[in-house]
A = this chain, B = another copy of it.
């Protein structure tokens, strides 16, 4: 059963999550029959908040699903309603851009577990009053993809022309191709991996522990008091942010530059506390983040990433995830990405080769690290535009 697309679900439910994040009437669709999760729990009501750009063609064959990363959301190519900043991929998706909205119908949904309108820890609890909070069930990348599939079905789209995403978005693109091979004409997993590594799990764990150490965490029930664990969440963000950039990029952008020139070496040492530009840059990353993100969502989504292991879902051999696939793949990695190194993309390419899949692979030379997929990287944009253009010919778009 599918409700009409409505706005303002939070307001409807009279939630007090409003004290945690700004109240915004996100465009969304509600599925009153809910969703059964990998953990066995059924969520009674599934809301999927989403945005679209461009027009769906008559044959409904030009839809491109963009999957966002851990801290991204559905505001791909427009002003973000909380931050007032341009969309996170407005250099990639838009008229005449690599994901050309004059040609493709672009869809992006806030992930299940998120905090921008889709069902997540800040949503009303199925039973009783208040939010799910820490009672929100553990979710997987596959659960996120199943939720997106409901939206795609609702929109009457039988086959997506492409599923595209970076980082956790790339995990979703891989999962889409594995779970719904006939519904994905082309897949572009960018700066990603088929499983989360021990080091990546460790960094996520540090972030979660920072959140749990904040007294405002209140065992995850902070929405009851309206005091969110902003300091812990900011520390989590700062730690994660370091992993998103390369050592070279940090050195190039900040090096050991000081925030203000001290008059003497004695004064320099006294300014210690907040001395280097890289420190205030990190502080800014932390404080900007907590205004738009929920700590329980952060915990929920990082755990979903940590748990992701596509080979494990298919008996231990990654190739078995893609056996018989007709999807066209383009894997993209960035040379200085140490969070999802090129080697992890190569491993996916090898698995795809073993099932004779149609796959191309490009490592983009850049010193900007993992975040390069969000930045103005011309080689990457040319790769993406070229691959999509070639696929469009094959798809008779």
Contact = CB atoms under 8 A, between A and B. Distances in A.
A138 B206 contact: no
A272 B138 CA distance: 7
Interface residues of A, number: 55
A250 interface: yes
Nearest to A313: B265
B201 A272 contact: no
Interface in A253-276: 253-256, 265-266, 268-270, 272-273, 275-276
Contacts of A201: 256, 276, 278-279
A272 B204 CA distance: 13
Given A205-B238, A235-B209, A272 B214 contact: no
A5 B343 CA distance: 57
Interface string A194-208: 011111011101100
A266 B306 contact: no
A140 interface: yes
A175 to B, nearest CB: 15
A286 B39 CA distance: 30
A238 B269 contact: no
A215 interface: yes
A247 B307 contact: no
B282 A195 contact: no
B198 A256 contact: yes
A194 to B, nearest CB: 11
Contacts of A266: 38-40
A45 interface: no
Contacts of A255: 198
Interface in A34-82: 38-40
Nearest to A242: B202
A294 interface: no
A86 to B, nearest CB: 26
Interface string A338-353: 1000000000000000
Contact of A206 (B40, B242, B338): B242
A10 interface: no
Interface of A: 38-40, 138, 140, 195-199, 201-203, 205-206, 209-210, 212-215, 231-232, 234-235, 238-239, 242, 247, 250-251, 253-256, 265-266, 268-270, 272-273, 275-276, 278-279, 282-283, 286, 303, 306-307, 309, 312, 338
18 contacts: A38-B266, A138-B269, A196-B256, A197-B256, A198-B250, A198-B253, A199-B251, A201-B256, A201-B276, A202-B242, A202-B282, A205-B238, A205-B278, A210-B210, A213-B213, A213-B214, A235-B235, A256-B309
Given A198-B247, A210-B235, 14 more contacts: A38-B266, A197-B251, A198-B255, A199-B247, A202-B238, A205-B238, A205-B278, A206-B238, A206-B239, A206-B242, A209-B286, A215-B215, A275-B306, A275-B307
